[in-house]
């Protein structure tokens, strides 16, 4: 006789299975982040804690870049907040999909694991539950944290020439993310070129370090793009059944 499993156990198992590829991808990318963390002088254990509690490649990269350029804590805070603002919107939309049985303490734990990929995995389900969302967080968090630690350990043993070469991987990763989005999108291409041009211009201003330059470019370019090239509102899904359409217009 087979023993029946509760529905939430089945959904949690499916969530873990679906997150395997995300965990492997996170491990690969975070290797370069760990090498970069070692380059800027961050301890291996500290870099592991950073990845475990931040879970943001762009946020951690911005933070490490600020540390490398001897930026201030204010620059560090503003830079990380700016690149992670999208998670606020994700958290709001995720909260609207949760039922009343999901308590505040559960929501706090779920907020820890809001990343682009984990969020997309959770929102793809018809109903977002606490157990299945937390289950989908396990492997990505382990992959991201362990990859950073391994990268830091490897970076400490690599010769300086290879370490410098490995540091380019993070820049290559962001280029690989940005370039495909510019194909067929003139506004996106204008944003990329405008950000690059403004960054070059600001680099010639005396007394303006790299940390503030990044913050200014982010705010100015995104504000201009949002004003002159806003994203179009998605069209509502209309029923294809003629009878349903008549009922709507009645």
* 87 plus 19 within the same structural domain: yes
Q: Are 19 and 113 in contact (CB under 8 A)?
A: no
Q: Which residue has the tokens 């690149």?
A: 83
Quote the tokens at residue 71.
Answer: 């930026």
Q: 242 in a domain, yes or no? A: no
- The predicted model scores a pTM of 0.70
* 111 plus 224 within the same structural domain: no
Q: Residue 238: what pLDDT? A: 47
* 228 plus 117 within the same structural domain: no
Q: 247 in a domain, yes or no? A: no
Q: Residue 55: what pLDDT? A: 92
Q: 172 in a domain, yes or no? A: no
Q: Residue 1: what pLDDT? A: 42
Q: Residue 244: what pLDDT? A: 44
Q: Which domain holds residue 195?
A: 183-232
Q: Are 65 and 174 in contact (CB under 8 A)?
A: no
Tally of domains within the chain: 2
Q: Residue 147: what pLDDT? A: 95
* 145 plus 51 within the same structural domain: yes
* 206 plus 154 within the same structural domain: no
* 194 plus 162 within the same structural domain: no
Q: 248 in a domain, yes or no? A: no
* 190 plus 139 within the same structural domain: no
* 213 plus 133 within the same structural domain: no
Q: Are 118 and 137 in contact (CB under 8 A)?
A: yes
Q: 249 in a domain, yes or no? A: no
* 57 plus 121 within the same structural domain: yes
Q: 117 in a domain, yes or no? A: yes
Q: What is the pLDDT along the chain (250 residues), one digit of tens a residue?
A: 444 444 555 688 888 999 999 999 899 889 889 988 998 999 999 999 999 999 988 889 888 988 888 888 898 888 888 888 889 888 988 888 888 888 999 999 999 999 988 988 888 877 788 999 999 999 999 999 999 999 999 887 877 777 666 667 666 766 766 777 777 788 888 988 998 899 899 989 887 877 788 888 888 988 898 898 886 655 544 444 445 434 433 3
Q: 244 in a domain, yes or no? A: no
Q: What is the C-alpha separation between 42 and 2, in angstroms, rounded?
A: 52
User: Exposed, middle or buried, 140 (CB in 10 Å: 0-12/13-18/19+)?
Assistant: buried
* 156 plus 201 within the same structural domain: no
Contact residues for 162 (Cβ-Cβ < 8 A; gap 6+): none
User: Exposed, middle or buried, 67 (CB in 10 Å: 0-12/13-18/19+)?
Assistant: middle
Q: Secondary structure of the chain in the HEC alphabet? A: CCCCCCHHHHHHHHHHHHCHHHHHHHHHHHHHHHHHHHHCCCCHHHHHHHHHHHCCHHHHHHHHHHHHCCCCHHHHHHHHHHHCCHHHHHHHHHHCCCCCCCCHHHHHHHHHCCCHHHHHHHHCCCCCCHHHHHHHHHHHHHHHHHHHHHHHHHHHHCCHHHHHHHHHHHHHHHHHHHHHHHCCCHHHHHHHHHHHHHHHHHCCCCCCCHHHHHHHHHHHHHHHHHHHCCCCCCCCCCCCCHHHHHHHHC
Quote the tokens at residue 218.
Answer: 């982010």
* 133 plus 226 within the same structural domain: no
* 131 plus 97 within the same structural domain: yes
């Amino acid at each position: 006789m087979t023993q029946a499993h509760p529905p939430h156990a089945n959904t949690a198992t499916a969530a873990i299975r679906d997150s395997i590829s995300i965990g492997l991808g996170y491990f690969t990318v975070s290797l370069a982040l760990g090498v970069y963390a070692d380059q800027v002088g961050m301890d291996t254990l500290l870099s592991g804690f950073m990845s475990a509690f931040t879970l943001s490649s762009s946020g951690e990269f911005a933070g490490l870049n600020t540390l490398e350029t001897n930026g201030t804590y204010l620059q560090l805070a503003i830079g990380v907040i700016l690149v992670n603002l999208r998670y606020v919107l994700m958290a709001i939309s995720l909260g609207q999909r949760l039922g009343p049985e999901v308590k505040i303490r559960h929501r706090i734990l779920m907020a820890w694991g809001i990343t682009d990929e984990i969020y997309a995995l959770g929102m793809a389900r018809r109903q977002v539950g606490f157990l299945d969302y937390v289950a989908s967080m396990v492997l990505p968090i382990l992959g991201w944290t362990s990859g950073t630690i391994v990268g830091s350990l490897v970076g400490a043993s690599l010769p300086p020439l290879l370490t410098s070469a490995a540091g380019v991987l993070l820049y290559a990763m962001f280029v690989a993310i940005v370039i495909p989005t510019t194909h067929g999108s003139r506004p996106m291409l204008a944003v990329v070129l405008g950000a690059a041009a403004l960054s070059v211009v600001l680099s010639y201003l005396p007394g303006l370090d790299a940390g503030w330059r990044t913050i200014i470019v982010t705010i100015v370019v995104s504000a201009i793009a949002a004003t002159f090239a806003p994203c179009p509102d998605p069209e509502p899904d209309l029923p294809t059944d003629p009878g349903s359409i008549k009922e709507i217009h009645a």
